Structure 1
């Protein structure tokens, strides 16, 4: 059994239910603002889940190498290691506002300090990943197959980090397997830079000198050290992470955004979601599944907004035949400019003029970034750099219906990118 906290308030209990499920019960004193999810409002009756744990609780469970490491550490001692057991291990340090402890324990989130500069300058060489996993695995309640951990930066990287009340993780450190996805950190770095340049909300991000790691600032962290609510679109669709590739973008993303974002913020959320979707098609990111989009909010009873961009890469640089993660018009094939235009007009309420301006801006931005991509990869992995640019050229040509030169444009150095990564959404810098 686990105590569930929303912010710093205990709001209910999560326990096993039946042979394979779980049940959550709100405390009698829970208020509407204590809701653990936009999909699970406060009520007297229990919230039962037949198999596994509820999507909102499963959302941040580690996957891949991180889960394997935690399983190695704890399975032998406990005799079993279910999702509920894993949540009990990483529950004090999660993305979003929810935390989990033993029923009789207080909430104390005290993540160890780590120099961000040490990671950026690659001072530990090839031992960096093993060192960080050993130190931060139990503090890394975040999903994703890509190797990653959450750390608490010891430097005053930005104003919010100066608060003595910030005891939780402040950054996400992402690595890559050189034998499987070469230069993945740099790939994501340039894709995030493209998103930043076209005006999408992007958290601060930096690339290690040797390209071994990408460091991303948490965008759900408030200046006083508390966290905003965060729910990915698996949760908002009421499905687990194992179904992140199911369904179509029309319903999974755009319909749910209409349902959960109301008032004046809906138009902006739909506009930004469509713009992000267009960018994904232009860079050919075939991993834009339901967990890689999310909503952010101060309180579940207040306004929600589209979360800043994360997990943005050009997958066809490694998988040339890769297609979209979900369907559009019933197919995972990359959409034409006509299909994207139809989506924007019918699902996101974006005008034809705005769509054309968006296509032009994204095409120009990727072309301007091309020299920096080519220069960066020239001495590291020229083939990967050319594959990325070939994918961008193909995406811009087919999905945007635009033609651009990929040999001239403004350059950017990796260390220059974090200075003006400012956003104005809930809980964002």
Structure 2
């Protein structure tokens, strides 16, 4: 059994139920604004899940290398290691506003200190990776197959303006690594994709590439100045799907229509414009991993108006898998769309005018073209990145010409 905390206040209990499922029951005095999800309002009846745990509780469970490391470390002690066991390990440090503890335990979400500067200035070897995985794995309630941990910067008073380290107990940064044998230079790949997103006018958290390019350090965009955290729910949660179904569905319904289900009418036009921009960017840089967990809504109050979350987890997957396709379908296919399909998506699903669509496509094309110049310069300074950079350049050129109908610089 696990106690669930919402905005640092106890909200209810989560436990196994029915052999292979789970049940969550709100405490009788839980306030409406302490609801754990926009999809699970406060009520007397329990919220039952037939298989696994509820999507909102599963949302931040580690995957890949991090999950396996935690399993090896804790399975012997617990006897089993299912989703609830994993949540009990990483529950005190999560992305978003929810935390998890033992039923009779107080909330302690303090994360150990780690200098961001030390990470950024480290020279390429495996020692830092092994050290940070050993020290921070249990404090890293964050999804994704790519190895990553969450840390609290010991010099954050300088890094995050106006924030005092004494007021921030939880993680302040995400540190992402890459496996040179599988996806070489993935950190640099993501860095330049996020730079393109920023130049296209999207909100992107501050990110810094380490000197040796072995790590990408990203500021937590859900962190408030008082040390508390905003609510965030990915589109697996909003579609009531587990993480194993993140590649199911079409962008039209599972992403664009779902956003309209949760965004108030008067705010939809702006947020749909952002979402369309993000989609066009994913197409331009050939990100075949834009699945349901890589889109999210962010909010200050679960009962208030959410907005599209800051951009995260964008990479050019076709730099490694040249025949990669989209993560979800558009017009019933995962093939990369052309400008005609993008225009139809923007006008029919987002309510944009033809002029609005053209402006967004032009803005994305310009952003990608500008970042291509920086990408080439960086590759000249780091010859080990040259092959990946050349693949990215080729794939971005294909995206610009075949999908956006624009030429390359």
Tell whether the structures are fold-level matches, with TM greater than 0.5.
yes
Shift of residue 270, structure 1, vs aligned partner: 0.7
The residue number in structure 1 matching 2:70 is 70
**SS, match of residue 391 in structure 1:** helix
- Structure 2 CA distance, aligned partners of 1:33 and 1:166? 23
- Structure 1 CA distance, aligned partners of 2:61 and 2:163? 25
The residue number in structure 2 matching 1:121 is 121
The residue number in structure 2 matching 1:420 is none
Shift of residue 122, structure 1, vs aligned partner: 1.1
**SS, match of residue 376 in structure 1:** helix
- Structure 2 CA distance, aligned partners of 1:372 and 1:124? 22
Which of residues 256, 264, 271 is equivalent to 1:269? 271
Residues 276-306 of structure 1 deviation map (CA, whole Å, 9 limit, x = unaligned): 0000000000000000000000111001000
Q: How does 1:17-56 map to 2 (within 5 A)?
A: 17-56=17-56
Mapped pair 1:351 → 2:371: no
The residue number in structure 1 matching 2:332 is 330
**SS, match of residue 152 in structure 2:** strand
Q: Could you say if the C-alpha distance between residues 160 and 90 of structure 1 is closer, same or farther in structure 2, counting changes exceeding 3 Å?
A: farther
Shift of residue 362, structure 1, vs aligned partner: 1.4
**SS, match of residue 153 in structure 1:** coil
Residues 160 and 224 of structure 1 are in contact (CA less than 8 Å); yes or no, is this contact kept in structure 2?
A: no
**SS, match of residue 281 in structure 1:** helix
Mapped pair 1:3 → 2:7: no
Mapped pair 1:12 → 2:16: no
Shift of residue 102, structure 1, vs aligned partner: 0.7
C-alpha root-mean-square deviation of aligned residues, in Å?
Answer: 1.0
Shift of residue 357, structure 1, vs aligned partner: 1.2
Residues 113 and 152 of structure 1 are in contact (CA less than 8 Å); yes or no, is this contact kept in structure 2?
A: yes
The residue number in structure 2 matching 1:388 is 392
Shift of residue 151, structure 1, vs aligned partner: 0.4
The residue number in structure 1 matching 2:146 is 146
Please report the TM-score for the alignment, with normalisation by the length of structure 1: 0.93
Shift of residue 263, structure 1, vs aligned partner: 4.0
- Return 5+ residue gaps in structure 2 as ranges: none
Shift of residue 163, structure 1, vs aligned partner: 4.6
- Structure 1 CA distance, aligned partners of 2:69 and 2:281? 34
Residues 163 and 226 of structure 2 are in contact (CA less than 8 Å); yes or no, is this contact kept in structure 1?
A: no
- Structure 2 CA distance, aligned partners of 1:207 and 1:328? 33
The residue number in structure 1 matching 2:82 is 82
Q: How does 1:357-376 map to 2 (within 5 A)?
A: 357-376=359-378
Residues 265 and 304 of structure 1 are in contact (CA less than 8 Å); yes or no, is this contact kept in structure 2?
A: no
**SS, match of residue 222 in structure 2:** coil
Mapped pair 1:400 → 2:407: no
Which of residues 203, 206, 214 is equivalent to 1:204? 206
Shift of residue 375, structure 1, vs aligned partner: 2.1
Residues 387-418 of structure 1 deviation map (CA, whole Å, 9 limit, x = unaligned): 1011110001111111122xxxxxxxxxxxxx
Residues 123 and 211 of structure 2 are in contact (CA less than 8 Å); yes or no, is this contact kept in structure 1?
A: no
**SS, match of residue 380 in structure 1:** helix
Shift of residue 77, structure 1, vs aligned partner: 1.2
The residue number in structure 2 matching 1:311 is 313
The residue number in structure 1 matching 2:215 is 213
- Structure 2 CA distance, aligned partners of 1:117 and 1:123? 12
**SS, match of residue 406 in structure 2:** coil
Q: How does 1:130-209 map to 2 (within 5 A)?
A: 130-155=130-155, 156-209=158-211
Shift of residue 381, structure 1, vs aligned partner: 2.6
Q: Judge which range, 154-163 or 44-53, deviates more.
A: 154-163
Shift of residue 125, structure 1, vs aligned partner: 3.3
Aligned residues: 405
Shift of residue 369, structure 1, vs aligned partner: 1.6
- Structure 1 CA distance, aligned partners of 2:124 and 2:91? 28
- Structure 1 CA distance, aligned partners of 2:5 and 2:267? 27
Residues 176 and 216 of structure 2 are in contact (CA less than 8 Å); yes or no, is this contact kept in structure 1?
A: yes
Residues 163 and 223 of structure 1 are in contact (CA less than 8 Å); yes or no, is this contact kept in structure 2?
A: no
- Structure 2 CA distance, aligned partners of 1:100 and 1:232? 19
The residue number in structure 2 matching 1:411 is none
- Structure 1 CA distance, aligned partners of 2:361 and 2:399? 11
**SS, match of residue 264 in structure 1:** helix
Residues 161 and 170 of structure 1 are in contact (CA less than 8 Å); yes or no, is this contact kept in structure 2?
A: no
Residues 55-113 of structure 1 deviation map (CA, whole Å, 9 limit, x = unaligned): 00000000111011100110011111110011001000000100000111111111000
- Return 5+ residue gaps in structure 1 as ranges: 406-429
Shift of residue 126, structure 1, vs aligned partner: 2.3
- Structure 1 CA distance, aligned partners of 2:172 and 2:78? 30
Shift of residue 371, structure 1, vs aligned partner: 2.2
